[in-house]
Structure 1
Amino acid sequence: MSRMLYKLGGWVARHRIKVICAWIVVLIATIGAAGILKPSFSENMSIPDTPSEKAMKVINKEFPHGPDKGSIRIIFGAKDGEKLTAKSAKEAIENTLKEMNKDDSIDSIASPFLAGTIAKDGTVAYADIKYKSSADDIKDYSIKHVKDSLSIADDDGLQTELSGDIPGAEMEIGGVSEIVGIVLAFVVLAITFGSLLIAGLPILTALIGLGVSIGLTLIGTQVFDIASVSLSLAGMIGLAVGIDYALFIFSKHRQFLGEGIQKNESIARAAGTAGSAVVFAGLTVIVALCGLTVVHIPFMSAMGLTAGLSVLMAVLASITLVPAVLSIAGKRMIPKANKKKEIQSAETNFWGRFVTKNPILLSVFSILILLVISIPSMHLELGLPDAGMKAKDNPERRAYDLLAEGFGEGFNGQLTIVADATSVPENKAEALADAVKEIKDLDHVASVTPAMPNAKGDFAIITVVPTTGPNDKATKDLVQDVRSLADQNGVDLLVTGSTAVNIDISDRLNDAIPIFAVLIVGFAFILLTIVFRSLLVPLVAVAGFILTMTATLGVCVFVLQDGNLIDLFNIPEKGPILAFLPILTIGILFGLAMDYQVFLVSKMREEYVKTKNPVQAIQAGLKHSGPVVTAAGLIMIFVFAGFIFAGEASIKANGLALSFGVLFDAFIVRMTLIPSIMKLMGNAAWYLPKWLDKIIPNVDIEGHHLTKEIQSEIDTEQKHRISM
């Protein structure tokens, strides 16, 4: 592969304009096509064959209600010290609804005074609007008409909020916080290269690759069910790895230029050496992300595949677009020899000497600090974010809080129960009534509606309002209690609704985590054994990755679930850990951890083969690859940290997990713990049984064999010239 990338890099350097134009054309075409087709995201996070999904199938079969119609809920809040039943407030609400009803697309409006949807204290009420068309077909002018009509109630001093099928609440793809992350990444690159112009080039190539992947993902929403969170996640990962991969090739090119190698030859060598490592690293990340499909959860598979696509585009941009940009940059890429560079080199040597002189201290310290940080992960609770976890000024949060204030916390987490009385021989209505009584007697139940039977009378729907919120542990216990009811009359109870779906998703993902983790750890061990031709180095690397994951989850629980430092990270409310965060973080961090492991230890392996000196090998690895891995780690942290301050709770959680995960893995595990333990193991670190050495293939990750071949060709040519 190194030879092929070497030839590719040389060709791109000679045809730089064509390559850059091709990328720009592809970028414009994909973004343009996506805009014309209009993306259609699917926010369905249900999982096949879960109890809640089975209940929904029964409802759709036994309670046919025709095509789904769009609906909007209008929530009214009274003035301080007043009630909505007062004459002025009632008139304001009725006039508001009357004005709304002038829209011909509205099928019906249920007035709170007729439907009885007024809180007991009279301070909160809601009215449900039903449209003649589906939610996707509600016109913008209809939504505007509803919002404009609210001014009647607003002018009377009432609080008005909207919930339901309201267009315009799409996932945000970028924002100020993400720009800050890019700016900080630019600063790291500027310090690394000592040039503002060069610092911007890796970001530019990463953004172009990311733009193509986003365009393809948006087009893919026309064919596949892709959640909007997948796009933001793919953007986060694609941007980070795109900058990092470009950094590796830029650094290698500058190294070759500093050795006096001609520009195009230097680009070709950088593509063949660092480019080879980038392809390997990228494929590792892609395999880890695509591995999410093994858990057989549709929305998780979509997340993994879209994120994998963004990494693939980052790799392609790195081995094609980056060489073209390097060719245009020309002599500007030649490093300037100065004292600052000498100081940086000395600092790198200092860290190598420090690690090899204090291996026990650093090993113990690294393990202890990661274990201490991991402690909160012992009480990890999974869930899905709801409107109550959004910022207090968010419209959905205001609607959520107003309903909770008037009707109780559990109103936002109602349970829909399907009572199956098909096995009851007679008196089905009586059996269903008894089931309702049993549900009322359970703990944490605020209210239960009478059973609403279907036409045959053998199925019924029961609505339960808990006393606690949708993500409260008591509500989850209530769902389990309802499901575990063993009715003596033979009525089977199936529970669905957002809260029940939340529980089922969390349980399924909990079950999938060990399976996915074992596959990832096993894959990592085999992969590293082949790359480093060692048993103990891969074992230590895998153990370090496990510590990275437990510490990362510990931080997430400490901040997101327990609510510590949430103001610092601009997190509105504490709550359960995002259900798919652990398994997603395992996949992403595994790929990144292997990147750093390969870039650091492959040089150690090369040096050890030459010298058979384990200490010298460790120091050479830290000196050669340490600065690049340090810069790459900082870039990853800054880019991921920028997403902590995004508006969406799920993106915040992933940004927090990935930024701390990279911090732990790059600087504590790879740069400190792994070299320290390797120093303690000495020559044993590189032990590999002879029989195994004969079986496993030789893999040249960083193109060292290519460098030797090129040098050999140069030497042969020089000898030939001398002989002539």
Structure 2
Amino acid sequence: MVVRSTDGPVTQGHGREVLTSVTRLLQDEPRIADVVAPMPGATLSQDGRTAVVLAGAGVDTNEMVKVATDLKAPLQDLSGDGVEVNPTGASLLWSDFNEANLQAMMKSEMMSWPVTMAILVLAFGALVAAGLPLILTLAGLVASAGSLVLINHLVPVSTWAMNFAMMFALALGIDYALFLVVRYRAARMGAHESKRQAIAETMDTAGKAVLLSGLTVLVSLSAVMLVPSPSFRSMAGGIMLSVLFVPAATLTLLPLVLSWLDLRINKLSLPWVHTGEHRSARFAAWGERLWRRPVLWGLASLVVLLALAAPVLGLRTALPSIKVLRQDSGIAGAMPAMPASDGSDWVLVQAVPHTDPSDPALSATVDRLRADLPGSALVGGAAVENLDFKAQLDESTPLVIGVVLGLGFLFLLIALQAPLISLLGTLASLLSTAAAFGVARLVFQEGMGAGFLGFEPQGFLDAWAPVFFFAMMFAIAMDYTVFLLASAKEHDERSGDPHEAMVGALAHSGRVIFTAGAVMVAVFFTFAVSGPLPPKEMGVVLGVAVLLDAFLVRLVLLPVMLRLTGRAAWHSLAWLRRVLPDITFSHG
């Protein structure tokens, strides 16, 4: 608590009364252990106008955030008559961040739902059909949010887990529901199948793709658990839980709702809509264009992706800080030693560095101190904790990336039983991911568009972003890969013709991928324009990744790969077919 007087020394007159009230308020809180009064030369300024009252934690860090939330208003209310009381410290900053995060999430949700609904109405051409993905996604969101709240009573769940899980589940859930609804309408109204046959065909084709996609996303995110950090595992676990509920709702509730609504799904249709249309003439024509000039389109998309990915080579990462021994050149000053209040031999010495805590030079200072001080001396504090955490992330990132790539390839191989196209699909996902990080450097490190997005550039990307966002981006990229290649394999199983496999895949899944990509981009970008910096980073990075992956990689580069590889794309070794489960995507 920083107490400042504008009418003379803070330890006299009304300032002294306020200090007494602050101390009493803190001492009456049972979750606070010790209250340390201002000390001259340490926590009392030389002019006597500013004093710092320290309150020690009597409970764990998560509970201390609740303490800060409960006490910050009563403490601030003690201000007046020339004396200001400003609570601060890590617990209060997290409390403020949680409030800002919640407000941002609500604002983003209010912005994203109307935009999403508009895109879905244009895609489906009917209000009832457009509302189904939103309703089913909402069911998955409620289930995952309620589960996270219950789990939080047992083990702490990161605030970011709540925020990121809701954002990710909303975008993913709409994708899955969209895929199933389009297939059902095609079977029921286009092929004029019975309701029972239409449900069976939908689940045997689109439902199978959704299941495999959900498993691929879960496996990709599970690799984040390799980072030995409770907060990371909490975030990854929260998102995995939401991903688990969303496909579950899509594969169980949605077929029941479709069966119940049946033809009423086309209620409130727009006049130009063809409700049974599954094969898009426009995307079929696009497929024919790619088939005729694959090298031209392939090189063009590759050049764009590589150009956007190039800045990633200069990407810097660090952990954010608040802008705010004597013999060490990196130390500006040290406070007097404070003995432990419990009578133990521990002594606390606080040192202030010359540099900002996010400056790379601080790492060299900490390394020197750890080398020069006795082995019994422990160098800690928030800034040092950030440095240690970043070192841990730098060490874990290559392992996570390798595991994600390996598991992604393995799942595609199991689903498609075709090594070449599984490998190409995995590598193509890397391109959009690298390009998204290249854009992230330009935005968050160099500050391009910072004014529009409403943030002050830090000169780096948060250190936790590469490993965490890579898993999420790769999961989304594989999501679209499964949709496109499952459709291509379905056409290949029926015709055995590479031309029909490529053009048919675009004709039947291109519109779904385009619409789903537009919804995801809208959801992520609404988070990018509101709230604290971490959701902005996630919104921009994932939004750009989806934009590039859905519209450039899946609708241009991957079909070109199918065209250039021809029959070799689907070639499978005999021993591989014996080992892998027999998965087909054609119905009947």
- Global fold match (TM > 0.5): yes
1:311 aligns with 2:239: no
Equivalent of 1:211 in 133, 142, 145? 142
Deviation of residue 636 (structure 1)? 1.4
Secondary structure at 2:421's aligned position in 1? helix
Equivalent of 1:117 in 43, 47, 54? 43
Query: 1:220-619 maps to which residues of 2 (within 5 A)?
Result: 220-258=151-189, 259-334=191-266, 341=274, 345-386=280-321, 388=322, 409=324, 436=325, 440-450=326-336, 460-485=347-372, 493-619=377-503
Deviation of residue 141 (structure 1)? 7.2
**Residue 97 of structure 1 contacts residue 109 of structure 1 at CA under 8 Å; is this kept in 2?**
no
Equivalent of 1:629 in 513, 522, 526? 513
Deviation of residue 218 (structure 1)? 0.8
Match of 1:393 in 2: none
Letter of the 1:74 counterpart: V
Normalization by structure 1: what TM-score?
0.72
1:196 aligns with 2:127: yes
Equivalent of 2:19 in 97, 100, 103? 97
**Residue 242 of structure 1 contacts residue 314 of structure 1 at CA under 8 Å; is this kept in 2?**
yes
Structure 2 vs 1, CA of residues 221 and 102 (structure 1 numbering), >3 Å: closer, same or farther? closer
CA distance in 2, matches of 1:94, 1:638: 54
Letter of the 1:301 counterpart: R
Structure 2 vs 1, CA of residues 452 and 352 (structure 1 numbering), >3 Å: closer, same or farther? same
| 1:567-586 CA distance string (max 9 Å, x none) | 22222442432222222222
**Residue 532 of structure 1 contacts residue 602 of structure 1 at CA under 8 Å; is this kept in 2?**
yes
Secondary structure at 1:225's aligned position in 2? coil
Deviation of residue 143 (structure 1)? 4.3
CA distance in 2, matches of 1:623, 1:123: 76
Structure 2 vs 1, CA of residues 479 and 313 (structure 1 numbering), >3 Å: closer, same or farther? same
Deviation of residue 249 (structure 1)? 1.2
Letter of the 2:86 counterpart: E
Equivalent of 2:52 in 127, 150, 153? 127
**Residue 453 of structure 1 contacts residue 459 of structure 1 at CA under 8 Å; is this kept in 2?**
yes
Deviation of residue 213 (structure 1)? 0.8
CA distance in 1, matches of 2:356, 2:305: 34
Structure 2 vs 1, CA of residues 461 and 140 (structure 1 numbering), >3 Å: closer, same or farther? closer
Q: Size of the alignment, in residue pairs?
A: 569
**Residue 10 of structure 2 contacts residue 16 of structure 2 at CA under 8 Å; is this kept in 1?**
no
CA distance in 1, matches of 2:193, 2:77: 68
| 1:351-386 CA distance string (max 9 Å, x none) | 212222222122222222222212222233333334
CA distance in 2, matches of 1:223, 1:657: 32
CA distance in 2, matches of 1:693, 1:131: 63
**Residue 217 of structure 1 contacts residue 306 of structure 1 at CA under 8 Å; is this kept in 2?**
yes
Deviation of residue 502 (structure 1)? 0.8
Deviation of residue 89 (structure 1)? 11
Structure 2 vs 1, CA of residues 448 and 533 (structure 1 numbering), >3 Å: closer, same or farther? same
Structure 2 vs 1, CA of residues 344 and 191 (structure 1 numbering), >3 Å: closer, same or farther? farther
| Cα RMSD, aligned residues only | 3.2
Which stretch shows the higher mean deviation, 189-198 or 320-329?
320-329
CA distance in 2, matches of 1:308, 1:562: 32
CA distance in 1, matches of 2:376, 2:11: 45
**Residue 105 of structure 1 contacts residue 132 of structure 1 at CA under 8 Å; is this kept in 2?**
no
Which stretch shows the higher mean deviation, 607-616 or 529-538?
607-616
Structure 2 vs 1, CA of residues 553 and 124 (structure 1 numbering), >3 Å: closer, same or farther? farther
Secondary structure at 2:350's aligned position in 1? strand
CA distance in 2, matches of 1:301, 1:266: 41
Deviation of residue 128 (structure 1)? 1.1
Structure 2 vs 1, CA of residues 608 and 274 (structure 1 numbering), >3 Å: closer, same or farther? closer
Deviation of residue 624 (structure 1)? 0.7
Match of 1:640 in 2: 524
| 1:359-416 CA distance string (max 9 Å, x none) | 2122222222222212222233333334x4xxxxxxxxxxxxxxx5xxxx3xxxxxxx
Normalization by structure 2: what TM-score?
0.87
Deviation of residue 497 (structure 1)? 1.1
**Residue 213 of structure 2 contacts residue 478 of structure 2 at CA under 8 Å; is this kept in 1?**
yes
Secondary structure at 2:309's aligned position in 1? helix
CA distance in 1, matches of 2:75, 2:339: 34
CA distance in 2, matches of 1:87, 1:533: 78
Letter of the 1:447 counterpart: G
CA distance in 2, matches of 1:217, 1:206: 16
CA distance in 2, matches of 1:620, 1:350: 10
Larger Rg: 1
**Residue 371 of structure 1 contacts residue 551 of structure 1 at CA under 8 Å; is this kept in 2?**
yes
Letter of the 1:117 counterpart: T
Which stretch shows the higher mean deviation, 548-557 or 140-149?
140-149
Deviation of residue 503 (structure 1)? 1.2
Structure 2 vs 1, CA of residues 159 and 85 (structure 1 numbering), >3 Å: closer, same or farther? closer
Which stretch shows the higher mean deviation, 560-569 or 203-212?
560-569
CA distance in 2, matches of 1:238, 1:564: 29
Query: 1:134-145 maps to which residues of 2 (within 5 A)?
Result: 134=59, 136=64, 138=67, 143-145=72-74
**Residue 112 of structure 1 contacts residue 125 of structure 1 at CA under 8 Å; is this kept in 2?**
no
**Residue 100 of structure 1 contacts residue 145 of structure 1 at CA under 8 Å; is this kept in 2?**
no
Deviation of residue 131 (structure 1)? 7.4
**Aligned-residue identity in percent:** 27
Structure 2 vs 1, CA of residues 561 and 477 (structure 1 numbering), >3 Å: closer, same or farther? farther
**Residue 279 of structure 2 contacts residue 507 of structure 2 at CA under 8 Å; is this kept in 1?**
no
Secondary structure at 1:149's aligned position in 2? coil
Deviation of residue 308 (structure 1)? 0.9
Match of 2:2 in 1: 74
Where structure 1 has 5 or more consecutive residues not aligned to the other structure, the ranges are: 1-72, 79-83, 389-403, 410-435, 709-724
**Residue 120 of structure 2 contacts residue 130 of structure 2 at CA under 8 Å; is this kept in 1?**
yes
Match of 2:87 in 1: 162
CA distance in 1, matches of 2:561, 2:504: 16
Structure 2 vs 1, CA of residues 599 and 101 (structure 1 numbering), >3 Å: closer, same or farther? closer
Letter of the 2:75 counterpart: V
Which stretch shows the higher mean deviation, 522-531 or 539-548?
522-531
Deviation of residue 593 (structure 1)? 1.7
Deviation of residue 345 (structure 1)? 2.9
Secondary structure at 2:329's aligned position in 1? coil
| 1:242-289 CA distance string (max 9 Å, x none) | 111111111111111212223344234323332222111111111222
Deviation of residue 673 (structure 1)? 1.0
Secondary structure at 1:688's aligned position in 2? coil
**Residue 482 of structure 1 contacts residue 493 of structure 1 at CA under 8 Å; is this kept in 2?**
no
Deviation of residue 124 (structure 1)? 7.6
| 1:669-703 CA distance string (max 9 Å, x none) | 11111111222223332333344344333212x4x
**Residue 471 of structure 1 contacts residue 575 of structure 1 at CA under 8 Å; is this kept in 2?**
no
